[in-house]
Structure 1
Amino acid sequence: MAGRNGRTVRDLRRANRTAVLQRLYFDGPLSRFELGPATGLSSGSVSNVVADLVADGLVEEAGSVDSDGGRPRTLLRVAPASGHMIGVDVGETRVRVELFDLTLTELARAERPLAQQRYDVDVIVGHIRDGIAEVLAAAGLPAERLLGAGIGVPGIVEHTAERGAVVHGQTIGWDAVPLEALLRAGSPLPDTVPYLIDNGAKTLGQAEMWFGAGRGARNAVVVLFGSGVGASLVTPDVEQGRAVEWGHLTVRVRGRRCRCGALGCLEAYAGAESLLARWREEGGRVPEGTDEETALTALLAAAHPSGDESADPVALAVLEETAEYLGAGLSD
């Protein structure tokens, strides 16, 4: 039966379950007494909802704490094995696939390095499919047990009714790539398990707001600083975050050419590829035959050596100039 606001008893029950699960997931373990103020539910409603969630295997007891003069209060938490999910990061140098339980404990991981033709669509799709199959096999988990697979990608993600998530990535050569449809074709996951695809900087921003340095903040800018440069802006108006193409802000007129084709972008000075290229152009000793991460570590070590060694003035100058460009970009 629907009430005056159109909500049925089933809607109300679902909303109450969601409120309790969210608070336990983000702030737990919590006692029933603490769940009341945290969710705005009455003590009776909390008891009923918790009893249902325990019976469904979604919530379990997690010890107890002393109360003020009364009996110890039983703590509750989300049951780790009640759900599983996969996270995929399509990065600059590799595709990483990880399997988690509901408390974000990592159960299995697979990584696929990206060669020079790193953003070939078929290669990326194959790496994601193979990585998902590998982590499921490693954990012995049936695919239908998954709640979903979240995928962070470079570029702008358009969500369409016909083709699902479509990726527009000028800097990686992707023009309206129907990534979700491609993954579904020959997918190791059944149709009941959703692919949740979004911009990598946006997913990073959301993760920081939920579990990292942004917890408790109303407004935040989360910067992704690696081979490329990106950012996510989170405000009360955009609680899920908005991806910002911050790396393609012009910081120098007629400056270095960026991989997007424009001149003077922030990424052309602050991205990892640019850092190493500028160090090499100025006569720096860039390690040959190493990956990007190792070469960057060498750059940092040269600029700020340990012990009594003197700093490499070229490496130090490159980093100081980069810091100026980053400061200007953040200010803008």
Structure 2
Amino acid sequence: MHAKSGRTVRDLRRENRTAVLRRLYFDGPMSRLMLGPATGLSSGSISNVVAELVAEGLVEEAGSVDSAGGRPRTLLRIAPGSGCMIGVDIGETRVRIELFDLALTELARTERPLATSGPRTGRYEVGVVVAHLRDGIAEVLRTAEVPAERLLGVGIGVPGIVEHTDTDGAVVHGQTIGWDAVPLERLLREAVDLPPEV
């Protein structure tokens, strides 16, 4: 007797979509024929997933390549404008916030200086950094005229070790900057109006 895996049709559908999107993002553009072996999915599954992703505007055609007989194969790629990502670098002298489309084209950038005089730990005061993040994220979205709903994620580089907790999300332990168990994700979510799935 086999135990049930607990996976639903919805889980399988999500995994198939993720596999196709991942391959197109990292290895694209690719044809439907190339996606099969790259993802391990059947040609029928590829056709269904691709049709769904094209209809949602997440995937688009990107030209064609000749085939070894028959008509040319259509190449597919991630639609660059279908979503955006924000990258943040909390550096030694500044906080840099950049907005990118899915082709990693920079759409907007801003920097907020960190105090360079006074005690080193004063430079990384948590409230100041969170305020820089709040204002910088709002600025890059406004500059690029991108609604927050198109935002897929925010990645933050911090000088320290990041621990994920169930209650606070990403918690930063940064000895060199004087942060001990700073609940950065929770503080950022409280300060910035981000969609819950970001």
Same-fold status (TM-score > 0.5): yes
Q: Could you report, residue by residue, the CA deviation over 1:42-68 in whole angstroms, capped at 9, with x for unpaired residues? A: 222211111111111111100011111
Q: Aligned partners of 1:123, 1:102: CA distance in 2, in Å?
A: 30
For the residue of structure 1 that corresponds to 2:191, the secondary structure is: coil
TM norm structure 2: 0.89
Aligned to 1:164: 169
Q: Which residue of 1 aligns with 2:119?
A: none
Asked whether the equivalents of residues 149 and 193 of structure 1 are also in contact (C-alpha less than 8 Å), the reply is no
2:194 corresponds to 1:190: yes
Determine the structure 2 residue equivalent to 1:49.
Answer: 49
Q: SS state of the match for residue 97, structure 2? A: strand
Q: CA RMSD in A?
A: 1.7
Q: Percent identity?
A: 77
Q: Which structure 1 residue ranges, 5 or more long, are not aligned?
A: 195-332
Instruction: After superposition, give the CA deviation of every residue in 1:64-102 in whole Å (9 maximum; x if it has no partner).
Output: 111112211100001111111111110112111011111
SS of corresponding position for 1:159: strand
TM-score if structure 1 supplies the norm length? 0.55
The one-character-per-residue Cα deviations of 1:98-153 (angstroms, maximum 9, x if unpaired) are 11111211111111122224212222111111110110010111112211211111
Structure 1 match to 2:143: 138
* Whole-Å separation in 1 of the counterparts to 2:46 and 2:197: 30
State how 1:1-332 maps to structure 2 within 5 Å: 5-116=5-116, 117-187=122-192, 189-194=193-198
Q: Which amino acid aligns with 2:134?
A: R
How far apart are 1:4 and its partner, in Å?
A: 5.0
Task: Extract unaligned runs of 5+ from structure 2.
Answer: 117-121
Deviation at 1:193, TM superposition (A): 4.5
Alpha carbons of structure 1 residues 4 and 180: separation in structure 2 relative to 1, 3 Å: closer
Distance across 2 between alignment mates of 1:4 and 1:193: 28
Note if contact 2:59-2:79 (Cα within 8 Å) is conserved in structure 1. yes
Question: Does the 8 Å contact 1:91/1:154 carry over to 2?
Answer: yes
Instruction: Name the count of aligned residue pairs.
Output: 191
The whole-number CA distance in structure 1 between the counterparts of 2:159 and 2:140 is 23
Partner SS for 1:185? helix
C-alpha spacing 1:16/1:127, structure 2 compared with 1 (3 Å): same
Deviations 1:4-29 (A, max 9, x none): 54433222222211111110011000
Bigger CA radius of gyration: 1
C-alpha separation in 2, matches of 1:19 and 1:28: 12
Cα-to-partner distance string for 1:242-263 (whole Å, 9 max, x where unaligned):
xxxxxxxxxxxxxxxxxxxxxx
Higher strand share: 2
Q: 1:19 to 1:193 in 2, by over 3 A?
A: closer
Q: Which runs of 4+ in 1 moved over 6 A?
A: none
Whole-angstrom CA distance in 2 between matches of 1:118 and 1:40: 50
Q: Whole-Å Cα distance in 2 between the matches of residues 58 and 35 of structure 1?
A: 16
Distance 1:30 1:82 in 2: 18
Q: Give the structure 2 partner of residue 294 of structure 1.
A: none
Tell which has more relative contact order, 1 or 2 (C-alpha 8 A, sep 6+). Answer: 2
Distance 1:41 1:192, change over 3 A: same
